Amino acid sequence: MKTIAINTPQQITSGYIKLSIIEWCKQGVSSKDIQLKLNFICDKPESLFNKFQVIKNKIYFEHKSY
């Protein structure tokens, strides 16, 4: 299981997040095994989790070797 932790909502689109997902994708880590951890209190975390899922799906679609 891999976890990406963010400290602010703006970090969800950071290059660090994308590069980490790309690296794990190339290593063969399953998309479902990458989770997001919020290190802050948020009144609507669903929107961040949804955005993270979209980012993961896009990266896996573009980089997964068949």
Q: What's the pLDDT score for residue 10?
A: 94
Say what the alpha-carbon torsion angle 28, 38, 54, 57 is, to the nearest 10 degrees.
10
Rounded to whole angstroms, the Cα distance separating 3 from 32 reads 11
Tens-digit pLDDT string for the chain (66 aa): 999 999 999 999 999 999 999 999 999 999 999 999 999 999 999 999 999 999 999 999 998 754
Q: What's the pLDDT score for residue 41?
A: 95
Chain mean position to CA 8: 14
Chain mean position to CA 45: 14
